[in-house]
Amino acid sequence: MTFDVFGDFEERGYLRNVVGTKDLAEVKLLEYSAFLSEVGKAVAALSRRNPLTYVDILTTHATLFGSVYPWAGKDRWETAPQANISRGGYDRMFAFPKDIRRAADYALRQGNDRAFMRAKPREVLGSLAHAHPFLDGNGRTIMTVHTVLVHRAGLSVAWHETDKAAFLTALTKEVHLPGDGYLDAYLAPFLREPRPLEREVEGLRALTTLGSATAAG
């Protein structure tokens, strides 16, 4: 089933991407190239902001994917308020459009508290993932924001050592059943001492595609 929340896939391609392609593989390559090019700039901008706010999440998405999507930096409440997002058959896993900002603000209150962040970095990641602000590009946007919050808390995550499928399974369970510890259990062995932000950017660039979602309702 084509992800076509705007109703103009045939005329304007997947989510109105700037080249108008309907080939999802081609769009993902555009996203990947944009991310590689802009993630350093996004991390640098976030490092100058304290505390991080919802506007910083929007700005990060615009920085990372503005060359791919004309709506980059706008959340689902603005771009597709009628569409809910589902994954794996769960249509209540992510925040409804009207609740996105509230969900993200909750996650940021946790993440900006350095003591909380150091104790429960996995819970913060799950809370950010639940907000799911954008039609696409959520994974890399959230990981970029989370990386800066983790760094401020005096930690890093060895993402290059994680397994994509296992991580996504744990993340899906965490978002579906928050607080049950699925993500904590998976990521605990990969927590490390902090590294310079330049090294964190290298780690983000090494991330593989973080999965996709579909619209429901």
Q: Which of 10, 28, 29, 32 is nearest to 20 (CA)?
A: 10
Residue 2 in any domain: the answer is no
- 70 domain-assigned: yes
Q: CA 150, CA 172: separation in Å to the nearest integer? A: 20
Quick one: pLDDT at residue 99? 96
| CA separation for the pair 11, 48 (Å, rounded) | 40
Q: Within a domain: residue 36? A: yes
* Residue 174 maps to a domain: yes
In the prediction, which pLDDT does 94 show?
92
SS3 182: helix
Number of domains in the chain: 1
d(CA 18, CA 174): 34
Return the structure tokens found at 131.
């907000």
Domain of residue 156, CATH code: 1.10.3290.10
pLDDT at 192: 93
- Say what the pTM is: 0.92
Q: Which domain holds residue 49?
A: 9-216
For residue 107, is it within any domain? yes
**Residue 207 token pair:** 């991330």
Label residue 211 left, alpha or beta by phi (over 0 means left) and psi (-120 to 50 means alpha): left
Question: What length does the chain have?
Answer: 217
pLDDT digit string (tens) for the chain, length 217 residues: 578 999 999 999 999 999 999 999 999 999 999 999 999 999 999 999 999 999 999 999 999 999 999 999 999 999 999 988 766 555 668 999 999 999 999 999 999 999 999 998 988 999 999 999 999 999 999 999 999 999 999 999 888 888 888 888 888 888 876 666 778 888 889 999 999 999 999 989 987 645 444 554 4
Is residue 4 domain-resident?
no
| Residue 1 domain flag | no
Provide CB contacts within 8 A for 42, sequence distance 6+: 60, 63, 64, 144
> 89 lies in a domain?
yes
Q: By the 8 A CB rule, do 114 and 152 touch?
A: yes
